[in-house]
């Protein structure tokens, strides 16, 4: 057996092998060790191989899905190996012949379909990258086999990572040569375990067309548009992987849809992470913008919302088409409520359809389609006779076009309570199939028929205590007390009653009639199941015939859900419909940050303070404005920066926005540099990360971009930082000419307003009362004169002694007037240093023993608090120490 395992494992080396043995999937060797570690199951051993114990671990078949889920989540792939022949067949080959086994399915993160493994609100994209020689730009193709969605796009080297992150796939297939391309190394490193290198052959562009045509059952791809060879390579790769993992099952793919690069707002990887659109920077959905705005009531709706949020549009007409649906449903309260309650509980039609198509579906999936069809009809009725905006009109049309006859057929065929698996039977309702009803009647009538037979036999034999019973060994039998048993073994009765067993106090018999009845009952059960299985296949076939129509209907349901959800959100949260046009305007009146606002509300803290933002080209100017935002720590600068970026995203995804009024001239690229984090894995310090991201912005932002920059240059010395921030602001203004907000603690930069005409100074207001600062969170014209860092440090709980010392240092620094006075002056002025130095100098002057000079230096060192020193001050202190030693 272990030889069979080794052979199958060798063909699936990069997967954990689930090897079916009875009611368990067993894992052996290192697979067993990995599984035991990941799943917390017991590691045992079974036999020996090459003189060593074979490690083994197993999971029960009935609970395999839960274990699969954990292994997939941990980034593993699993090959499920089943028995592929009847044990009886194997026996025919010889007593010891092993039952044939083979891999029947490869489970990988991007190819799962199980309802309990999938998240209902998230798509499960499998993505492939392709790039052929002679074509510079890599292409992407991605499929969600749980719904059949199939997309493709052309990317570019520098934006490959951001494009991949926008799609947010569960698995990324990469041709081996691209995986080894040093230029793309950082992309694969950033993707980590998601990237799955595969042999180049999988991505052969020449054979890709045929493969895709075969899967889509078409003779040519021409009808779907012209694809580049790189696109074909990516599409071929992703389709080949689906075929490989699904091992021949028919995948219900929809025709490939091309996404034009310029049609979506470009959001680079760092921006996407820092804005926490669909996940927080910690990776969780909780606390993301998506979580806060999601009011959808169905899984497909939640997925569509996430998709729209991840890829806002850049065509005003397409945006407005979506926005009009939201505005309409916002006004039509009653209709919206009705739609939402009808949508609640509508099952996930596409996922059910996909499972049926892959041969992994069951009666409940048919039930889901039955229910989705009847809900679709109900929703279409609700929308009938209403004057709808264009997008909703198309949705209504799609719902009207849903195949009524399939709904009726399923309605008639299916019972109310449905089992998970077809082989469990009992899912076809009564009066659907005569033969089935007859067989069922026979099976269920058996009790009555047996009771009648028992009464007749008791009368005939005059044995009142005669019973007909059943057990697994004998099946049905007649039982009489021993005292009567002999009667049945003599005379005429002997011919009729066939002796089966003698017990201590009873004897058991059967008759030809009873045996007949028994086999009829057993057959009836089997026959009923066979009829049901055939009906199941017929129903699945009929449903799959209508795949295209059902898919369009499912999309319509998702669109209704998203539009109604965004309308509900806008209504409850009091958002406004932004004006969208092709200008360079950016006007937000009373804008809010939806996530911070929700958090403040949840904490029952202060109300969120709304703020205006105007980045439209100032009078007479051709390019947008640059706001230089100063203000205290904790004043709300980052919140303000982010909220304006989020408003642009929400506006361009077609939603209403958290403001009282907004006009957004299309933004084509959005960049943000907010918050600092190091990237130790890639050997980059915090400052380095900041500079790399700033470089990306300065090199890419154009007139139509929106840029938000938070505290550029804080990770280095004051002068260096200020110089970089200064030059960056000038570059943004003069060269990039984009709309931008630049937050900084370098108050010196406010002087730039004198030379840069489109730059305006704004500040977060604070009030000082009895030495305390009160953050007003209000943005107003002008510049801040200080950062209130020490006050914020107090709020954070820094020790009192440190705060007192910091205040003294600050006072001296401010009195000095310069931004970084020489540390020498400071040391002289501030008591701790001067005391330490004086002590050291005294001790050296009095010709103290070297030990005491040493101690004096130690005392000086004790007096230094490195956190309080700027790099320059630190250097000066060092010289000072050296000087003391020289003296």
Ligand X SMILES: Nc1ncnc2c1ncn2[C@@H]1O[C@H](COP(=O)(O)OP(=O)(O)OP(=O)(O)O)[C@@H](O)[C@H]1O
Interface contacts to ligand X, rule CB under 6 A: 596, 600, 606, 608-609, 631, 633-639, 777
638 labeled part of a ligand binding site: yes
Least distance from ligand X to the Cβ atom of residue 872, Å: 22
Indicate the residue among 506 and 590 with the shorter CB distance to ligand X: 590
Torsion-angle region of 475 (φ positive above 0: left; ψ -120 to 50: alpha; else: beta): left
Least distance from ligand X to the Cβ atom of residue 685, Å: 19
Residue closest to ligand X, measured at CB:
636
633 labeled part of a ligand binding site: yes
757 labeled part of a ligand binding site: no
How far from 858 is each of 833, 870, 871, 876, CA to CA, in Å?
12, 21, 21, 17
Number of residues that make up the chain: 887
634 labeled part of a ligand binding site: yes
Least distance from ligand X to the Cβ atom of residue 635, Å: 4
How far from 221 is each of 14, 229, 235, 238, CA to CA, in Å?
33, 13, 12, 16
Classify each residue of 108-137 as buried b or exposed e, where b means 16 or more C-beta atoms within 10 Å of its C-beta: bbbbbbbbebbeebbbbbbbbbbbbeebee
| 3 state SS of 210 | helix
635 labeled part of a ligand binding site: yes
What whole-number distance in Å separates Cα of residue 417 and Cα of residue 428? 10
Least distance from ligand X to the Cβ atom of residue 633, Å: 3
* Both structure tokens of 14: 């990069």
**Taking the alpha carbons of 844, 850, 856, 860 in that order, is the dihedral positive or negative?**
positive
How far from 326 is each of 73, 465, 604, 703, CA to CA, in Å?
36, 77, 29, 30
CA angle 703, 709, 712 (to 5 degrees): 125
CB 661, CB 589: distance < 8 Å? yes
Least distance from ligand X to the Cβ atom of residue 419, Å: 51
Least distance from ligand X to the Cβ atom of residue 634, Å: 5
How far from 529 is each of 343, 350, 414, 423, 638, CA to CA, in Å?
34, 27, 14, 7, 65
Indicate the residue among 52 and 781 with the shorter CB distance to ligand X: 781
Indicate the residue among 639 and 728 with the shorter CB distance to ligand X: 639
What whole-number distance in Å separates Cα of residue 214 and Cα of residue 208? 10
Indicate the residue among 603 and 755 with the shorter CB distance to ligand X: 603
Indicate the residue among 66 and 606 with the shorter CB distance to ligand X: 606
Backbone angles phi, psi at 824, to 5 degrees: -55, -50
Least distance from ligand X to the Cβ atom of residue 24, Å: 52
Least distance from ligand X to the Cβ atom of residue 597, Å: 8
Indicate the residue among 563 and 787 with the shorter CB distance to ligand X: 787
749 labeled part of a ligand binding site: no
Least distance from ligand X to the Cβ atom of residue 884, Å: 38
What whole-number distance in Å separates Cα of residue 190 and Cα of residue 164? 11
Question: CA 879 from chain center: how many Å?
Answer: 55
What whole-number distance in Å separates Cα of residue 639 and Cα of residue 674? 10
CA angle 725, 730, 736 (to 5 degrees): 110
Give 591-613 as a 3 state SS string: ECCHHHHHHHHHCCCCCCCCEEE
Indicate the residue among 340 and 777 with the shorter CB distance to ligand X: 777
DSSP 749-793: GGGGGGT-TTEEEEEEEEEEETTEEEEEEEEEES--S---HHHHH
Least distance from ligand X to the Cβ atom of residue 603, Å: 8
Least distance from ligand X to the Cβ atom of residue 687, Å: 16
CB 393, CB 380: distance < 8 Å? no
Least distance from ligand X to the Cβ atom of residue 643, Å: 8
DSSP state letter for 107: E
**Taking the alpha carbons of 710, 712, 718, 724 in that order, is the dihedral positive or negative?**
negative
Known binding positions? 631-638
Tell me the binding residues for ATP.
631-638
């Amino acid at each position: 057996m272990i030889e069979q395992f080794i052979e199958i494992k060798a063909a699936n080396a990069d997967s954990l092998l689930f090897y079916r043995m009875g009611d368990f999937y067993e894992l052996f060797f290192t697979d067993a060790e990995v599984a035991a570690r990941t799943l917390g199951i017991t590691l045992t051993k079974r036999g020996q191989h090459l003189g060593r114990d074979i490690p083994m671990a197993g999971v029960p078949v009935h609970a395999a899905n839960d274990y699969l889920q954990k292994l997939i989540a941990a980034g593993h792939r699993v090959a499920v190996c089943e028995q592929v022949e009847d044990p009886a067949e194997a026996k025919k080959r010889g007593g010891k012949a092993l039952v044939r086994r083979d891999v029947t399915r490869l489970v990988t993160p991007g190819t799962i379909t199980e309802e309990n493994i999938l998240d209902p609100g998230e798509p499960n994209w499998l993505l492939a990258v392709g790039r052929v020689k002679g074509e510079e730009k890599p292409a992407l193709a991605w499929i969600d086999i749980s719904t059949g969605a199939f997309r493709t796009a052309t990317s570019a080297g520098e934006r490959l990572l951001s494009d991949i992150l926008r799609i947010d796939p569960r698995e990324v297939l990469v041709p081996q040569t691209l995986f080894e391309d040093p230029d793309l190394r950082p992309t694969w490193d950033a993707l980590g375990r998601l990237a799955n290198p595969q042999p180049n052959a999988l991505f052969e562009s020449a054979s890709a067309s045929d493969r895709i045509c075969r899967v889509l059952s078409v003779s040519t791809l021409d009808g779907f548009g012209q694809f580049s060879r790189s696109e074909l390579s990516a599409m071929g790769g992703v389709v080949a992987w689906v075929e490989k993992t699904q091992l021949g099952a028919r995948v219900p793919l929809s025709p490939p849809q091309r996404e034009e690069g310029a049609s979506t707002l470009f959001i680079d990887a760092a921006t996407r992470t820092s804005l926490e659109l669909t996940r927080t920077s910690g990776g969780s959905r909780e606390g993301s913008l998506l979580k806060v705005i999601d009011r959808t009531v169905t899984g497909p709706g939640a997925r569509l919302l996430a998709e729209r949020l991840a890829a806002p549009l850049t065509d005003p007409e397409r945006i407005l088409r979506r926005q009009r649906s939201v505005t309409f449903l916002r006004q039509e309260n009653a209709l919206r409520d009705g739609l939402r309650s009808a949508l609640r509980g509508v099952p996930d039609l596409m996922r059910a359809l996909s499972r049926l198509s892959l041969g992994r579906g069951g009666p409940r999936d048919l039930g889901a389609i039955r229910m989705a069809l009847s809900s679709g009809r109900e929703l279409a009725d609700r929308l009938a006779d209403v004057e709808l905006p264009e997008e909703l009109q198309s949705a209504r049309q799609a719902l009207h076009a849903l195949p009524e006859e399939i709904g009726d057929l399923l309605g008639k065929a299916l019972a109310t309570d449905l089992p998970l698996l077809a082989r469990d039977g009992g899912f076809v309702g009564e009066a659907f199939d005569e033969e089935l009803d007859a067989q069922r009647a026979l099976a269920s009538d058996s009790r009555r028929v047996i009771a009648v037979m028992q009464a007749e036999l008791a009368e005939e034999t005059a044995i009142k205590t005669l019973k007909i019973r059943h057990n697994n060994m004998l099946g049905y039998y007649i039982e009489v007390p021993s005292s009567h048993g002999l009667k049945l073994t003599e005379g005429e009765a002997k011919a009729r009653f066939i002796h089966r067993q003698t017990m201590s106090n009873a004897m058991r018999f059967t008759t030809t009639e009873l045996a007949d009845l028994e086999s009829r009952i057993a057959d009836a059960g089997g026959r009923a199941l066979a009829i049901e299985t055939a009906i199941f296949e017929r129903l699945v076939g009929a449903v799959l015939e209508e795949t295209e129509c059902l898919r369009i209907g499912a999309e319509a349901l998702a669109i209704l859900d998203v539009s109604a959800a965004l309308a509900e959100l806008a209504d409850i949260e009091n958002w406004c419909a932004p004006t969208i046009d092709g200008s360079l305007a950016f006007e937000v009146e009373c804008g809010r940050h939806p996530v911070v606002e929700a958090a403040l509300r949840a904490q029952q803290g202060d109300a969120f303070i709304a703020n205006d933002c105007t980045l439209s080209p100032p009078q007479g100017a051709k390019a947008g404005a640059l706001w230089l935002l100063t203000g205290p720590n904790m004043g709300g600068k980052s919140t303000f920066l982010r909220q304006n970026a989020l408003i642009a995203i929400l506006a361009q995804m077609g939603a209403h926005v958290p403001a009282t009024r907004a006009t957004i001239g299309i933004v084509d690229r959005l960049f943000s540099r907010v918050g600092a984090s190091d990237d130790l894995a890639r050997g980059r310090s915090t400052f380095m990360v900041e500079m790399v991201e700033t470089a990306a912005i300065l090199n890419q932002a154009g007139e139509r971009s929106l840029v938000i920059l938070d505290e550029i240059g804080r990770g280095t010395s004051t002068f260096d930082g200020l110089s970089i921030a200064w030059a960056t602001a000038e570059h943004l203004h003069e060269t990039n000419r984009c709309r931008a907000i630049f937050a900084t603690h370098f108050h010196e930069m406010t002087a730039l307003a004198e030379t840069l005409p489109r730059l305006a100074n704004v500040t977060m207001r604070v009030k000082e009362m009895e030495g305390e600062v009160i953050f007003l969170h209000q943005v107003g014209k002008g510049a801040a004169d200080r950062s209130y860092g020490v006050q914020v440090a107090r709020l954070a709980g820094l020790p009192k002694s440190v705060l007192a010392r910091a205040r003294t240092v600050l006072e001296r620094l401010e009195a000095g007037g310069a931004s970084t006075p020489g540390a020498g002056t400071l040391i002289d002025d501030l008591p701790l240093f001067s005391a330490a130095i004086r002590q050291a100098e005294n001790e050296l002057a009095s010709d103290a023993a070297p030990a005491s000079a040493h101690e004096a230096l130690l005392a000086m060192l004790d007096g230094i608090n490195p956190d309080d020193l700027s790099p320059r001050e630190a250097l000066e202190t060092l010289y000072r120490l050296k000087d003391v030693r020289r003296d």
